Amino acid sequence: MATTPYHHGNLRDALVEAAVEVVREGGPEALSLRELARRVGVSHAAAYRHFADREALVDVVAERALEAMVAQVHRRLDRVDEPDPVTTARRRLVELGAGYVEFALTETGLFRLLFTAYPDPPEGKGDGDDAGEDPYNLLNRALDELVAVGFIGPELRAGAEVTCWSAVHGFAVLNVEGPLRGLSADERDATLTALLLGIDRAFGAGGSWPPLAPVALTTS
């Protein structure tokens, strides 16, 4: 039994683990069922006992990626510590965006996979159970908070999620796989700060609020 047991034991988990690793290193296009099987030490068709097709495996990796992203965003969100509630809410929105971008730049492969098979979050707005563990929900709650503390006028709330998400996502995409990928860390921090403070200005245009501190990414 010591020599190559016929049954792997927990092939499914092993495949997922290997898949995550492969995608982290080479992005979605590096994900090959056959190479995965090779890596795990199993025949090339064995994976089909656990995944209907390649797509199904991609979906599982996407879930993992989403979790990792939420974790990274939370890490940044939790560091926010401001005396003023308005500044707190504003800062949280900024850090939310910065965490999103940070994940995109740190875990390029996972991020790229995420948006070749994103699990349509805006549709499932009804399930209030695990709501919150999803960047989209985090964003909406941050915006609601900004309305609650009086920073965002209620008339500007509609569509604000899409505006924020678009800006931050666009920045991430352009920097990860787009024409902005050559930017230095300093240039990135500067332009990202301009973008995030721009959003802040767009929402708080009504009143006269104190300026926000710049942002710096930890791209490691």
Task: Single out the segment in contact with DNA by CB under 7 A; choices: 17-25, 48-56, 130-138, 210-218.
Answer: 48-56
Member of 13, 21, 34, 124 binding DNA (CB under 7 A): 34
Q: Which does 158 bind (CB under 5 to 8 A by kind): its own copies, DNA, none?
A: its own copies
Q: How many amino acids of this chain bind its own copies (CB under 8 A)?
A: 41
User: CA 50 to CA 220: how far, in whole Å?
Assistant: 35
Helix (H, G, I), strand (E, B) or coil at 203: helix
Q: CA-CA distance, 142 to 125, in Å (whole number)? A: 16
The correct pick among 23, 31, 114, 168 for binding DNA (CB under 7 A) is 31
- Residue span 7-26 as binding mask against DNA, x where in contact by CB under 7 A, dash where not: xxx-x---------------
Query: If binding is defined by CB under 8 A, does position 190 make contact with its own copies?
Result: yes
Contact 90, 151 (CB under 8 A): yes
Distances (CA, A) of 73 to 9, 85, 210: 35, 20, 24
**Single residue of 11, 82, 165, 216 touching its own copies by CB under 8 A:** 165
- Three-class SS state of 75: helix
- Whose Cβ is closer to its own copies: residue 42's or residue 99's? 99
Between the CA of residue 136 and those of 54, 120, 142, what are the distances in Å? 26, 10, 10
Q: Which is nearer to DNA, 11 or 180 (CB)?
A: 11
| 21/187 with CB nearer DNA | 21
Does residue 103 belong to the site contacting its own copies (CB under 8 A)?
A: no
Where are the alpha helices (H) located in the chain, listed in sequence order?
11-26, 33-40, 54-77, 85-106, 108-114, 135-148, 160-176, 185-203
Please list, in sequence order, all residues whose beta carbon lies within 8 angstroms of the beta carbon of residue 17, skipping any fewer than 6 positions away. Answer: none
Q: Pick from 37, 57, 70, 199: which binds its own copies (CB under 8 A)? A: 199
Nearer to its own copies, 9 or 179 (CB): 179
- Three-class secondary structure of residue 82 per DSSP: coil
Eight-class DSSP state of 54: H
Q: What is the DSSP letter of 49?
A: G
Q: Is 123 in the site for DNA (CB under 7 A)?
A: no
Binding DNA by CB under 7 A: which of 46, 80, 147, 183?
46
Q: How far apart are CA 184 and CA 196, in angstroms?
A: 18
Size of the site for DNA (CB under 7 A): 25
Q: Which is nearer to its own copies, 121 or 132 (CB)?
A: 121
Contact between 3 and DNA (CB under 7 A)? Answer: no
